[in-house]
Structure 1
Amino acid sequence: MAEAFLVQLRRRGVERLFVNSGTDFASLVEAYARRKDSGLDLPDVVVCAHENLAVSMAHGSYLGDGRVQAVMLHTSVGTANAVCAVFNAARSRVPVLLTAGRTPLFEHSMLGSRDAPIHWAQEMFDQAGMLRELVKWDYELRDGAHVQDVVDRALDIATTEPRGPVYLSLPREVLAGPVFGPQDAAAPALPSTAHPDPAAVARLADHLASATFPVIITGDAGADRRAVPLLAELSERFGIAVVESGVRHVNIPADHPLHAGYAVGEVLAEADVVCVLDLDVPWLPGSSTPRADAVVVQCGPDPSFSRYPMRTHRTDLTITANVTALLPALTAALAERAVDPGRADRLAARVGGWRERRARLLETESAAGGPITKAFLNTALAQVRPSDAVVVNEYWASPEILGSTVPGTYFGTPPAGGLGWGLPAAMGVQLARPTTTVIATLGDGAYMFANPAACHQAMAMHHLPVLTVVCTNAHWGAVQSSALRMYPDGHAAGAPELSPLARLDPAPRFAAYAEASGGLGLHVTERAELVPALQRALRTVQDERRHVLVDVECA
């Protein structure tokens, strides 16, 4: 049955199987060993030495090529290790088929029954319960005759919008058992995207056409790269400003004349029509909200974010639709309406201030001395980064300073914020786009959460020349800043030293992790060293195809 399962994955377009193996993999080991004799077309195995690495690499591979991915974990304990990464995939709407072996059902007398002491301790009453709240569907394969239907059902649900992970447990005896009946049925029809209600589009077009200061807020519209030129055309043609918030993708080129920057509060004060494109938190209700007389429209495949227990952001019109389907419909509707032809020029003059601030910051940081700051680190990366290089950011890379213009070249931290995502996700992007330069930008905390020894070992094993740049400041910035926001006049704010709850010192020499697996490790402490180090790192990943880590001591 293991062979039938693997064959079905490959038939349905799953090219890779990310694995962290255990005793439940015996039948898969045999299937891959038999491949030369069987001639079966099976998914390529991507071995990962930790479950967070496996699931986050699959996440990154989906970002890289847009194809559904598959992961197999080791029973209950592997599933437990993967929950944080599954959380990230769920909130990012990433379609991954998560499978895990199940501790053998039988104690004896069947092929695959329990043959090691661990098989008693690892069994759970409800293994899937650990992540049931995060996946769209969970099931257990009960018989080999069912394998084709079960795989098809899992993939269908994972790829139906809003997309997301699904979970399938595989008892060892079932994997070892025979398959009965035909296993060559035609593939099921792929689920179509959600198209908008024409009447709702017409209402939105009316609001946008008559507005004085219309604004689109987004952070995820560029998850489908086809949406980027569509949004750029809509904005420029009809004079609609676009502001990015919680940026996780390139949604509109940073040099677009109507790109309104990244500070939502600055535009909400003036906007009379606010259109939110598939963004879970378009503003922070405690600090900024749309004007009372503004029209607010929420759009997306799940515009209410129904899997979030609470979300009460205001809406006057809600449109359920795939963004890539909505934008052409909205463009067509606006083309039939009278729109002030001078609005685009007036808005462009009003919203371009952030580019001037960026230029001043780049100039100031380039000329400044002293320790390396995050702003200077961004300035240096912006100076050396090829325009088509992909940045996978988990901490310090600023979309505002980097100014990305090419769709699919920036991926930001998932909304769930489960640490340890960035480095393995960058590896997954590299796997999906082998000729692309991929740069992982991390803080020291996020890097340590990623199980760096496992990550660099996998880079060597799978020939993934990722450039990793770690901003090492030996503290949890989010922990300290959160305390100061809540208690600006409190004891922590007045303390002469960093809170012990936010400290990460002493900082290890992270470059050694890369060197231990055959990569290049660089350690930078001075501003003058940074650009040459990044240039050397880029030459190494591009010319030698070898992974590099640049450990940068930051203030």
Structure 2
Amino acid sequence: MASAGSNDWMGEIDRPNLPGEYPLGWKSDVAAEMLRQLDIPYVALNPGASYRGFHDSLVNYLGNRAPQMIVCLHEDHVVAIAHGYAKATDKPMGAILHSNVGLMHGLMGLFNAFCDRVPMMVIGATGPVAPEKRRPWIDWIHTTKDQAAMLRNYIKWDDEPRSVPGVIEAFLRGYQMTVTKPSAPVYICLDAGLQEEGVSGEITFPDVARYVPMTLPAAAAADVRTVVDLVKHAKTPVFMFGRGSREQRHWEARVEVAELAGASVMSSQRERAVFPTQHGLHVLPPMGSLSPAAKELLAGADLIVSFDYPDLQGTLRQVNRNTGAIAAKVVKVSLDHTLHNGWSMDYFGLPPADLAIMADPDAFAEQLRDELSAQLGGVKRWDGRSRRTWGEIGYSENADVELVSRDIEVALAEVRGERKFTLTHLSFGWDGRAYHWNDPLDYLGHDGGAGLGAGPGLALGAALALKDQGRTVISVDGDGDFMQGATALWTAAHHQIPALFVINNNRSNFNDEIHQEAVAKDRKRPPENKWIGMRISEPNVDIAALARSQGVEAEGPVTDRQSLLAALERGLAVVASGKPYLIDVLVKPSYANKLVTRGD
């Protein structure tokens, strides 16, 4: 199994004092050993007595190395860190959640991770299943039957093993299932009583290389040939690239198939970088809500191929509310339906599809590329001329005295130069016309389920994954979002995880101001009252002080262009030295792009 990366850079952080090696002697040691066998490099956790046996195994049996604990102050951060790691690597990290109460704290993060279709090994615990082993009061309220019922609707699989062979199989199966596409978290609940039982007899661990994930499901050859025929006869094809892997070969395959097909390209700002945004076929900036130009592009298409583009129906509906009347032939390529169970509407509306192909979008892109190349003799249908309809944007008119959200994007583009940045999160004010994606790790996408507070944790997980890869991890968070996840910064300081946090601070829950304005106008009531119950002021939160109180260097509020550029350079220097840094940027409440409300 390929290595998930070393954690030796942490040096002696939280290393135990062990007089020697302890042999495997407890059933919790078996679970810990399985994490090591599966090459899980980190486990994020917030301590809890329900897994005290497992905790001891991680420390005194494994030596808190491979995997190394990442200590958090809240279970939501535990899951967000594992989520960020998966976004950067397409591989699972461990997330450990205490009993029922810790699990409930982490549920929002798990919903985010499920909606984002990332792999994750979540290990939970319940108080002793055997009642005679329960301590008075606490073990009773922390013991639940079928604990996974709380999250079964938004994970891929769960188990609660009752024996050593059961533990071994649970970890093997869980890893295989979470990594197999489409990915989603899996949950293994360890009985506290079982953890603290001694082992008897010899324990045999299987060769994990014989329990590999399933290969990427490809399309039937006949379906590939049908799409090739559609492409060859199309005059205005559009390829919509949605979910995709971080592998460079898949990035290159998307570019090659678009050039061969001569297809205009759209990608989503909600998903990870999947196509170079400066390429001549990437007609528009990465989309959130559709611009008029995007609607015109799709309305004029005679073929639309969706490579697992989330909310395809909602996107097409912005072109024509009666999506069934869209003139283009629509090809939908996705495996996502295999995760749909009806509890959550994260499967979105049902789009029209003249051909629905059950295949991994990256596997299909390679198939389509190869067949197109063979039938076209390697000659591209794209003539090499750029179709981009968008130009660069600069700073706002008053940026020398007052900043708006897009100024952060422009400033990051300016200081970037030849440096490699990985953006792990964007605020709602991101425009998309100043800062470009050049490779799969330039941008890691939205938080998945739109659950607030994930931004800081996502950045830390990505920074763990990308340490020593010559990339600077940057998270651009709204102030309301950030403050719900602010105590993740203690974890950054404690473990010396280098990441730059840029806070887009409009001192408001501004997204909801837009909604309140829409409702007031619809009801013919005064929209100027939209701010009430929304503003985060009187008093203003000292965000930089909040960071410094947890051991993270910080500055702000920054209020103008020159100060912002200088702050970014200072922050980048600190991060390059191996430490986290935060910049509080005060911005005027505004959005670069129109927010779609229910009235639209």
1:485 & 1:233 partners in 2: Cα distance? 43
2:249 & 2:380 partners in 1: Cα distance? 28
Q: Is the 8 A contact 2:401 2:559 kept in 1?
A: no
1:536 & 1:480 partners in 2: Cα distance? 33
1:468 & 1:496 partners in 2: Cα distance? 32
What is the CA deviation profile of residues 305-364 of structure 1, one whole-angstrom value per residue up to 9, with x for unaligned ones?
Answer: 734545211111111212221112101221244599795238x45x3111x2xx2x22x5
Q: For 1:314, give the aligned amino acid.
A: P
1:192 & 1:477 partners in 2: Cα distance? 44
Q: 1:390 to 1:366 in 2, by over 3 A?
A: farther
Q: Is the 8 A contact 2:31 2:54 kept in 1?
A: no
**Counterpart mapping for 1:316-331 below 5 A:** 316-331=354-369
Q: Is the 8 A contact 2:58 2:64 kept in 1?
A: no
The aligned counterpart of 1:184 is 205
1:333 & 1:537 partners in 2: Cα distance? 48
CA shift, 1:392, in A, is: 1.0
Q: 1:371 to 1:497 in 2, by over 3 A?
A: farther
1:303 & 1:18 partners in 2: Cα distance? 30
Q: Is 1:540 the equivalent of 2:600?
A: no
SS in 1 for 2:152: coil
Q: Is 1:433 the equivalent of 2:491?
A: no
SS in 2 for 1:365: coil
SS in 1 for 2:168: helix
2:409 & 2:397 partners in 1: Cα distance? 10
The aligned counterpart of 2:559 is 525
The aligned counterpart of 2:69 is 45
Q: Is 1:274 the equivalent of 2:312?
A: no
Q: For 1:378, give the aligned amino acid.
A: E
Q: Is the 8 A contact 1:71 1:98 kept in 2?
A: yes
CA shift, 1:136, in A, is: 1.2
The aligned counterpart of 1:469 is 502
* Match of residue 273, structure 2, among 250, 254, 272: 250
Q: Is the 8 A contact 2:259 2:380 kept in 1?
A: no
Q: Is the 8 A contact 2:242 2:267 kept in 1?
A: yes
1:199 & 1:485 partners in 2: Cα distance? 49
Q: Is the 8 A contact 2:517 2:530 kept in 1?
A: no
Which 10-residue stretch deviates more, 430-439 or 334-343?
334-343
The aligned counterpart of 2:38 is 12
Q: 1:486 to 1:203 in 2, by over 3 A?
A: farther
Q: How many residue pairs end up in the alignment? A: 538
CA shift, 1:28, in A, is: 2.5
What is the CA deviation profile of residues 197-227 of structure 1, one whole-angstrom value per residue up to 9, with x for unaligned ones?
Answer: 1111111111111111100112323554432
Q: Is the 8 A contact 2:90 2:119 kept in 1?
A: no
What is the CA deviation profile of residues 131-180 of structure 1, one whole-angstrom value per residue up to 9, with x for unaligned ones?
Answer: 11001112212122422112112112212221111111111110111335
Q: Is the 8 A contact 2:83 2:120 kept in 1?
A: yes
The aligned counterpart of 1:117 is 137
Q: 1:525 to 1:254 in 2, by over 3 A?
A: same
Q: Is the 8 A contact 1:273 1:295 kept in 2?
A: yes
Q: Is 1:504 the equivalent of 2:536?
A: yes
* Match of residue 99, structure 2, among 38, 63, 75: 75
1:420 & 1:394 partners in 2: Cα distance? 13
Mind listing any 5+ residue stretches in structure 2 that lack a counterpart? 1-26, 286-290, 589-600
Q: For 1:3, give the aligned amino acid.
A: D
What is the CA deviation profile of residues 351-401 of structure 1, one whole-angstrom value per residue up to 9, with x for unaligned ones?
Answer: 3111x2xx2x22x53775542001212111111125421011142444432
The aligned counterpart of 1:130 is 150
* Match of residue 513, structure 1, among 534, 546, 560: 546
* Match of residue 478, structure 2, among 435, 443, 446: 443
CA shift, 1:116, in A, is: 5.0
1:381 & 1:80 partners in 2: Cα distance? 37
SS in 1 for 2:480: helix
Q: For 2:153, give the aligned amino acid.
A: E
1:552 & 1:401 partners in 2: Cα distance? 18
The aligned counterpart of 1:157 is 177
Q: Is the 8 A contact 2:456 2:482 kept in 1?
A: yes
CA shift, 1:55, in A, is: 0.7
CA shift, 1:518, in A, is: 2.6
1:369 & 1:471 partners in 2: Cα distance? 17
Q: Is the 8 A contact 2:492 2:580 kept in 1?
A: yes
Which 10-residue stretch deviates more, 54-63 or 214-223?
214-223
1:205 & 1:429 partners in 2: Cα distance? 37
2:337 & 2:521 partners in 1: Cα distance? 35
Q: 1:98 to 1:238 in 2, by over 3 A?
A: same
Q: 1:352 to 1:32 in 2, by over 3 A?
A: closer
Q: 1:250 to 1:497 in 2, by over 3 A?
A: same
Q: Is 1:287 the equivalent of 2:327?
A: no
Q: 1:367 to 1:554 in 2, by over 3 A?
A: closer
Which 10-residue stretch deviates more, 140-149 or 498-507?
498-507
CA shift, 1:13, in A, is: 2.0
- State the percentage of identical aligned residues: 25
Which 4+ residue blocks in structure 1 deviate beyond 6 angstroms? 339-342
The aligned counterpart of 1:402 is 435
Q: Is the 8 A contact 1:247 1:399 kept in 2?
A: no
1:417 & 1:321 partners in 2: Cα distance? 27
Q: Is 1:241 the equivalent of 2:264?
A: yes
Q: 1:222 to 1:215 in 2, by over 3 A?
A: farther
Q: Is the 8 A contact 1:224 1:324 kept in 2?
A: no
Normalised to the residue count of structure 1, the TM-score between the two structures is 0.91
1:102 & 1:554 partners in 2: Cα distance? 46
1:369 & 1:44 partners in 2: Cα distance? 46
Q: For 1:184, give the aligned amino acid.
A: F
Q: For 1:295, give the aligned amino acid.
A: K
Mind listing any 5+ residue stretches in structure 1 that lack a counterpart? none
Q: Is the 8 A contact 1:18 1:54 kept in 2?
A: yes
SS in 2 for 1:101: strand
1:338 & 1:384 partners in 2: Cα distance? 43
SS in 1 for 2:94: strand
SS in 2 for 1:243: strand
The aligned counterpart of 2:23 is none
1:218 & 1:342 partners in 2: Cα distance? 19
Which 10-residue stretch deviates more, 364-373 or 214-223?
364-373
RMSD: 2.5
CA shift, 1:237, in A, is: 3.0
